[in-house]
Structure 1
C-alpha cells in the first residue's frame, strides 16, 4: 500500500519530534506560509511526509544563514523549477 506523501498523518508534537523543531516554530513556519499542514474538521494540524521534508529543508537553509524571507524565496524558486521540469518531462 502506497501512502500519499502529502497525506496529513502526524500531529504537531510528532512533527516536532521528527524534525527537531519545536511546535511554536512549526506554527511560525505555517503563519509565514512556508508549510501548509492539513487541518482536521476540528482544526487540528496534521503534518504529512512532504511537510516533514519541507521543515527539514527550512532547517537546512536556516543553518546556511538564510532568513525566513530568503527561505520563502528559495522554496518558491525550487517549486517553480520542479513545475517546469515536470512540464519538460511531459513534452520530452
Structure 2
C-alpha cells in the first residue's frame, strides 16, 4: 500500500468541510448535547458523514451552523424555525460569495476591454 502524502493531511486541517469531529466532541465544542445534534440532523440542517463504523462525523462548517442553531434555540426560537433561518442565512452567504467572485472576474474582463 503506498504511503500517504503528509501534505494531504495538512490540507484537511484547513478544510472547513472535512468531517473531523465525532458527535461527542462536536456537542462538547458547541455546548450542546448529542441529542441536539441528532435533532439538527433530523431537521436536515446538518447531515453528518458517517465513518466506516457508522459513527457520525461533523465538519467545522457544520459546527458553525449548529452553534448558530443553539444560539437561536437558547433565545426561544423553535428548532424547526431556527434551522430554516440558518439554512437561508447559509444560502445568502453562498450567493454573496458567488456574486463577489463574479464581480471580481467580471471586473478583470471589463478592465481589459477599456
* Superposition deviation, residue 87 in structure 1: 2.5
**Residue 64 (structure 1) aligned to one of 70, 75, 78:** 75
Verify: 1:33 aligned to 2:51, yes or no.
no
Higher RCO, 1 vs 2 (CA within 8 Å, ≥6 residues apart): 1
**Residue 23 (structure 2) aligned to one of 12, 36, 46:** 12
Give the 4+ runs in structure 1 shifted more than 4 A.
Answer: none
Alignment deviations for residues 5-48 of structure 1 (CA, whole Å, 9 cap, x no partner): 11111111111211111112211111111211111122111111
Q: How does 1:42-81 map to 2 (within 5 A)?
A: 42-81=53-92
Q: Provide the rounded CA distance (Å) in 2 between the counterparts of 1:87 and 1:18.
A: 30
If each structure's helix is expressed as a fraction of its own residues, which one has the higher value?
2
Q: Provide the rounded CA distance (Å) in 1 between the counterparts of 2:62 and 2:84.
A: 17
**TM-score, normalised via structure 2 length:** 0.71
SS in 2 for 1:74: helix
How many residues were matched structurally? 92
**TM-score, normalised via structure 1 length:** 0.86
Residue pair 2:19, 2:58 contacting (<8 A) in 1 also: yes
* Superposition deviation, residue 74 in structure 1: 0.7
Q: Provide the rounded CA distance (Å) in 2 between the counterparts of 1:80 and 1:14.
A: 26
C-alpha RMSD of the superposition: 1.5
